[in-house]
Amino acid sequence: MSKSVVSYTQLKSWKRCRQKWYYRYVRGLVPKERVKKIDLGNYGHALLEAYYKGEDLQQASENYWREQTKDMFQEEMIEYQEVRDQAEQLVKRYIDHYNKAGDDLKIHAVEEHFQVAIPTAKGYKSMTDLQGVFDLVVEDGTGELWLVDHKFTSIDLDKYEENLVLDEQANYYLWALAEMLGDYGAVSGIIFNLVRTKLPTVPQLLKSGGLSKAKSIDTDVDTYLQAIKDNRLNPNDYVDILNYLKENSKPFFKRHRVYRTPEELKNIKNELYEMSKDMRGCRVYRNATRDCSWDCPYRELCIMESKGIKDDFYIENNFDIHGGCKQD
């Protein structure tokens, strides 16, 4: 029996609906991309990769932009220019923020690809490997080793972090890192490197010539201070609002740490093994829910085939065939 290689995307698809997994990874049906989109989070990831590799940020942005827009019409490129501008601003602000805060992370690996055999319950190597990419592997100021997962989100970071303890992809990747090191106690856990995709609001300049001091403004101290400087105003007139923002403004950057014990990593390993064993058995069934209407590109095909209808023209028109059991 040949060895198989699975990604987190494949595992997620398997857990969501085995029929969906079967269409993508066994029959090799890949939905055709009707309209190419440039995702802000992916753009930000690319720029953070360049930054931590010591590359020129502007050149990295130009290279990424050129690659993403090579098949686009001019009108589409104009539409996505805003995404490029926002990604560049976010990452530049991220760098400034952590330079001022005194970033103590020592980088061990940047965007490192891995492929690790999933052991059986008794510790033997199974016939399935897990593959993926670590965003960062770092050592903090106390000497602890961490896996870093970049997250770009529009959600309030204090709320967003509440469910990160359940993040499956980060858990699987952390197990892979510990397995590669040969010691489940060698890695302390995961640092979720959170970036809010909304830029701070510039305070409004009033008719009086001063800046708005409304406490509802979604901004930070640095942005407010810059507005004071740009308008040649006296900072002493804004002490109260600056102190308020210092204590109460919603964070635009945050690093949330989740510790994992060796016992937790063993449980993650066992879960991975049980899933990989089921996938090799290829016992497939549908898990139809109301979510199928928005989260499954195979919905219409699934409905047709459940009625016994075979439509090769529909498949040819809507999917590329990349061969069975391929990875993303």
DSSP string of 232-267? T--GGGGHHHHHHHHHHPPPSEEEEEEE--HHHHHH
C-alpha angle with apex 194: 247 to 44, nearest 5 degrees? 125
How far, in Å, CA of 131 to CA of 114, rounded?
5
Strand partners, 193: 150, 255
Closest to 148 (Cα-Cα) out of 100, 96, 189: 189
Mean pLDDT, consecutive 10-residue stretches, the chain (328 aa), reads 87 95 94 85 98 97 95 89 96 94 91 94 81 97 96 96 95 97 96 97 95 95 96 96 96 97 95 90 89 93 92 92 59
Q: Which two tokens stand for residue 155?
A: 């959600």
How far, in Å, CA of 16 to CA of 162, rounded?
22
For residue 20, give every residue at least 6 positions away whose Cβ sits within 8 Å of its Cβ, in sequence order, or none: 13, 296, 298, 302
**pLDDT value of position 282:** 80
Integer angstrom CA distances of residue 201 from 68, 93, 210, 235: 29, 14, 16, 18
Q: Are 119 and 109 within 8 A, CB to CB?
A: no
**pLDDT value of position 323:** 65
pTM, full prediction: 0.91
Integer angstrom CA distances of residue 149 from 173, 182, 193: 9, 21, 6
Strand partners, 116: 130
**pLDDT value of position 327:** 40
Q: Which domains does the chain have, with CATH numbers?
A: 28-197+254-282 (3.90.320), 200-250 (no CATH)
**pLDDT value of position 214:** 95
The radius of gyration computed from the CA coordinates of the chain, to the nearest angstrom, equals 24
SS3 149: strand
Integer angstrom CA distances of residue 47 from 82, 151, 252: 15, 13, 17
